[in-house]
Amino acid sequence: MTNSLTVGRRVSVRVPATSANLGPGFDTLGLALALYDELEIEVLAEPGVQIEVTGVGAGEVPTDETHLVVRAIAHSLARYDYALPGLRLVAHNSIPHGRGLGSSGAAIVSGVMAASGLLDGIVEVTEADALALATELEGHPDNVAPALFGGLTIAWTTPDGPLHKKLMVHRGVSPVVFVPEHVMSTALARSLQPESVPHKDAVFNVSRSALLVAALIQSPELLLAATEDRLHQNYRAAAMPETDRLISALRAAGYPAVVSGAGPSILVLGSDPAQRLGAAELVAVESETTWQALMLAVDFKGSTVELVST
């Protein structure tokens, strides 16, 4: 790598949380939520990285070049023949880690967007480039697409790379996320997924995924039926029994509840603001451990990057 960045160049990045799958849309559908990680990245004269983290993950995440944001910056810069420079990274994190709200996807997108900002005016990093870079690191595009672009995203892969379609969500859709104190490994959750499922279950999920898109953009009253799933949640239930029990209680009471991403958080896609208040009351009564209720808007903007100093 022969190119280097100008010392003192500084960018600020803001990336939303996401909830993937949304019930039936396994590895395909994702929703951006108004809860953000915010970072500043500056190019230093001396080599190495200086990392300061406040909020979620402070004192827990690496503070060297293995930090996921730094790895994503290095991966993205290398694509354009730029070496990783000395960096100062200041991160204020609000997205819970290991809870199914896309924290690793947000970190990857933060790095990709930071690299894009550091290369501003030098190299154009297109939307397609950013999605491809983020997907290479994340492994699948369902979390990184909404983190990058906001709103409801449909993501799919092709021989030429990942693609996405962004859709605007009906203004009546009112998400609430219930976040437990315990974490869930995405790798463990994926390991519980069978290699094949019955034909009737596959057909069931195809119909519900199609219905879910219609429900989210046009007909929120259909969300309870549209969030039914037979493809992944049942197989993972044993690994998060209270999540499974609360989702069953919520759905029995008429609330469109699903596992958020790989879990263990629960996403309820309320059809109006009052519905999510009812869901919060039910969880408060039924839960055996502490669950934090996050009343979140849908984020329509996605990630942003601003060149603060050149």
Measure the CA–CA gap between 15 and 274, rounded to whole angstroms.
28
Measure the CA–CA gap between 103 and 82, rounded to whole angstroms.
26
Measure the CA–CA gap between 87 and 65, rounded to whole angstroms.
10
Asked whether residue 102 is marked as a ligand-binding residue, the answer is yes
Asked whether residue 261 is marked as a ligand-binding residue, the answer is no
Measure the CA–CA gap between 269 and 217, rounded to whole angstroms.
12
Asked whether residue 101 is marked as a ligand-binding residue, the answer is yes
Asked whether residue 208 is marked as a ligand-binding residue, the answer is no
Measure the CA–CA gap between 60 and 15, rounded to whole angstroms.
20
Asked whether residue 104 is marked as a ligand-binding residue, the answer is yes
Asked whether residue 9 is marked as a ligand-binding residue, the answer is no
Cite the beta strand spans of the chain per DSSP E.
10-20, 29-44, 49-55, 86-93, 152-158, 161-167, 174-180, 257-259, 266-270, 291-295, 304-309
Asked whether residue 98 is marked as a ligand-binding residue, the answer is yes
- Say whether 27 sits in a helix, a strand or coil: coil
Asked whether residue 248 is marked as a ligand-binding residue, the answer is no
Q: What length is written for the chain?
A: 310
Summarize the annotated binding site for ATP as residue ranges. 96-106
Summarize the annotated binding site as residue ranges. 96-106
